[in-house]
């Protein structure tokens, strides 16, 4: 491996998890022992439990549901020893180190505070809370209690996204100018904007769409999920960039585009749990020294035609020498481990890791690529083994910023929405 090897960045393969690449954790942190308690006997929690089987240090010791019959049936199906009909009882279980919250979004604030007040570490499904004010309160409580607290933004941990972030950091597409993304759920659709432009700058927001109405069961607080159809343009004045985000209610492509001065990165559909990305990086690479010698990079010779420093390459599009499709195209595939769930209802199945056979316990997979939870689960164990209080892939500041942007979109849509 050479320093200029395009398949490496900072000494690591491009898809290396960010926490490892930055030197904040080590790969063997996945053996760090954590006893998980599960709040809510739900389908998504079932996928989390199955994916924890890919983490050597993980053990699920308890599950809680709203009634004991459901909790006991769920625990039996997933091979969990202890069942509760009270979330408080689970949080007070001394055999639980960290709580995974998969309850309804409007209950997240309540359940987060219950776990934190019991001194438990916590990972909560997205959206984290209904408002930024609630999110700030939760993170402040976690800091005071000295516990790990994170939003389960699993898309940040997929190898395709890790690769894309490394490529942007390396400067492969130049200065980022535009981010485009679509997804019905705002917390997903907005995430690429934060991935690209970060959380330091609060953008100027122009939003339009359906007015979000308060939820009676959440104290008349508007949902963090928002309402479709709607859209927002985020202007990052300091960074001279914009994000165009749409939240459709009909058919949508679900791609994410990062567009820079020198190229473009496409997170392929389905971009909220991707297994592929495409990088288009301008003109073909050069070979030679003509530019340094003060000569034209390409020269038309009567006897030879065009010759110079360009390398002949494979053309995925056409040869029209413009600033648009005239480019190098590289597609990178990161398939999920076998079995790779494509849609809900697929049997959980089993797989050989190279060291052991995993028989996935519990329900069928609840949705596409849900096995990708394992990437986030591995990162949680690595980060906690290193004593971190947040995940580098999705920081507390980024989590709060997404909530703040959603609050502003909701406010504007409430005033001018339909």
Give pLDDT tens digits for 225-236.
888 899 999 999
The per-residue pLDDT for range 116-167, each reduced to its tens digit, is 999 999 999 999 999 999 999 999 999 999 999 999 999 999 999 999 999 9
Question: What is the distance between the alpha carbons of residues 282 and 280, in angstroms, rounded to a whole number?
Answer: 6
CATH code for the part of the protein at 157-283+321-338+405-416: 3.30.360.10
CA dihedral 82, 88, 94, 95 (to 10 degrees): 30
Phi and psi dihedrals of 119, rounded to 5?
A: 80, 20
Please report, for residues 5, 9, 385, the alpha-carbon distance to residue 1 in angstroms, rounded to integers and kept in the order given.
6, 11, 29
Tokens 């395709």 sit on residue: 160
pLDDT for position 284:
61
Instruction: Give the other-Cβ count within 10 Å of 348's Cβ.
Output: 20
| Average pLDDT rounded to a whole number, residues 68-77 | 98
Count of CB atoms situated within 10 Å of the CB of 155: 28
User: How far apart are alpha carbons 181 and 416 in whole angstroms?
Assistant: 23
Mean pLDDT of 13-18: 98
Q: What is the pLDDT of residues 174-232, one digit of tens each?
A: 999 999 999 999 999 999 999 999 999 999 999 999 988 888 888 888 889 888 899 99
Residue 257 φ then ψ, to 5°: -120, 130
Strands 58-64 and 34-39: parallel
Give the separation between CA 65 and CA 84, rounded to whole angstroms: 6
Residue 293 has pLDDT above 50, yes or no: yes
Q: What stretch(es) of the chain map to CATH 3.30.360.10?
A: 157-283+321-338+405-416
Tell whether the model's pLDDT for residue 326 goes beyond 70. Answer: no
> Lowest mean pLDDT: which of 118-122, 292-296, 405-409?
292-296
- The DSSP H or E segment spanning 87 is helix 87-91
pLDDT of residue 2: 43
pLDDT class for 310, splitting at 50, 70, 90? low
Burial label, 44 (beta-carbon count in 10 A; 0-12, 13-18, 19+): middle
**Residue 314's pLDDT is what?**
47
Is pLDDT at 317 greater than 50 in this prediction?
no
As a residue count, the chain comes to 418
**How far is residue 245's CA from residue 206's CA, in Å, rounded to a whole number?**
11
CATH 3.40.50.720 range(s) for the chain read 8-156+357-394
Q: What are phi and psi of 150, to 5 degrees?
A: -150, 150
In this model, does residue 239 exceed pLDDT 70?
yes
What's the alpha-carbon Rg for the chain, to the nearest Å? 23
Element housing 195 (H / E): helix 191-197
To the nearest whole percent, how much of the chain has pLDDT over 90? 76
The 10 Å Cβ neighbour count of residue 114 is: 21
> d(Cα 254, Cα 184) in Å, to the nearest integer?
9
Cα 3 from Cα 11, distance rounded (Å): 7
Query: What is the per-residue pLDDT for 47?
Result: 96
Cα-to-chain-centroid distance, residue 325? 29
* pLDDT class of 324 with cuts at 50, 70, 90: low
Query: What whole-number distance in Å separates Cα of residue 396 and Cα of residue 389?
Result: 9
Distance of CA 153 to the CA centre of its chain: 5
Per-residue confidence (pLDDT) for residue 329, from 0 to 100: 82
- The H or E element spanning position 38 is strand 34-39
Pick the CATH number of 8-156+357-394 from 2.60.120.10, 3.40.50.720, 1.20.120.1730, 2.30.30.100: 3.40.50.720
Average per-residue pLDDT for the chain: 92
Nearest CA to 280 out of 242, 322, 221, 243 is that of: 322
pTM of this prediction exceeds 0.95: no
Q: Which two tokens stand for residue 96?
A: 């639980």
The SS3 call for residue 145 is: helix
Q: How far apart are CA 275 and CA 267, in angstroms?
A: 8
Distance CA 110, CA 223 (A): 15
């Amino acid at each position: 491996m050479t320093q200029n090897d395009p398949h490496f960045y900072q000494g690591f393969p491009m898809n290396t998890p960010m926490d490892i690449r930055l030197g904040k954790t080590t790969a063997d942190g996945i053996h760090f022992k954590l006893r998980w308690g599960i709040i809510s006997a739900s389908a998504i929690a079932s996928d989390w439990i199955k994916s924890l089987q890919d983490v050597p240090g993980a053990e699920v010791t308890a599950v809680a549901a709203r009634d004991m019959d459901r909790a006991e049936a769920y625990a039996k199906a997933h091979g969990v020893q202890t069942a509760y009909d009270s979330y408080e009882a689970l949080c007070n279980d001394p055999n639980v180190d960290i709580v995974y919250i998969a309850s309804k979004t409007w209950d997240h604030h309540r359940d987060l505070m219950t776990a934190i007040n019991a001194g438990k570490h916590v990972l909560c499904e997205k959206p984290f809370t209904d408002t930024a004010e609630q999110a700030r309160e939760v993170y402040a409580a976690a800091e005071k209690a000295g516990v790990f607290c994170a939003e389960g933004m699993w898309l940040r941990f997929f190898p395709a996204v890790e690769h894309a972030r490394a490529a942007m950091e390396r400067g492969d597409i130049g200065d980022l100018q535009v981010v485009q993304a679509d997804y019905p759920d705002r917390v997903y659709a907005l995430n690429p904007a934060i991935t690209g432009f970060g959380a330091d700058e609060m953008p100027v927001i122009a939003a339009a769409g359906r007015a979000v109405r308060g939820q009676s069961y959440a104290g008349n607080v508007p949902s963090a999920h928002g309402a479709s159809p709607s859209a927002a343009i985020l202007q990052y004045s300091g960074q001279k960039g914009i994000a165009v985000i749409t939240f459709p209610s009909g058919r949508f492509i679900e791609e994410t585009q990062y567009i820079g001065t020198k190229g473009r990165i496409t997170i392929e559909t389905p971009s909220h749990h991707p297994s592929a990305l495409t990088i288009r990086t301008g003109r073909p690479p050069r070979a030679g020294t003509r530019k340094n010698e003060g000569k034209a990079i390409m020269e038309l010779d009567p006897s030879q035609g065009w010759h110079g420093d360009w390398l002949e390459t494979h053309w995925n599009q056409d040869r029209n020498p413009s600033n648009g499709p005239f480019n190098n195209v590289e597609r990178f595939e990161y398939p999920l481990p076998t079995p790779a769930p494509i849609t809900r209802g697929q049997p959980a199945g089993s797989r050989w890791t190279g060291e052991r056979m995993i028989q996935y316990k519990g329900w069928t997979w609840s949705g596409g690529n849900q096995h990708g939870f394992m990437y986030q689960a591995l990162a949680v164990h690595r980060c906690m083994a290193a004593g971190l209080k947040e995940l580098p892939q999705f920081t507390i500041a980024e989590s709060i910023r997404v909530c703040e942007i959603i609050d502003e979109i909701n406010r504007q849509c409430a005033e001018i929405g339909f």
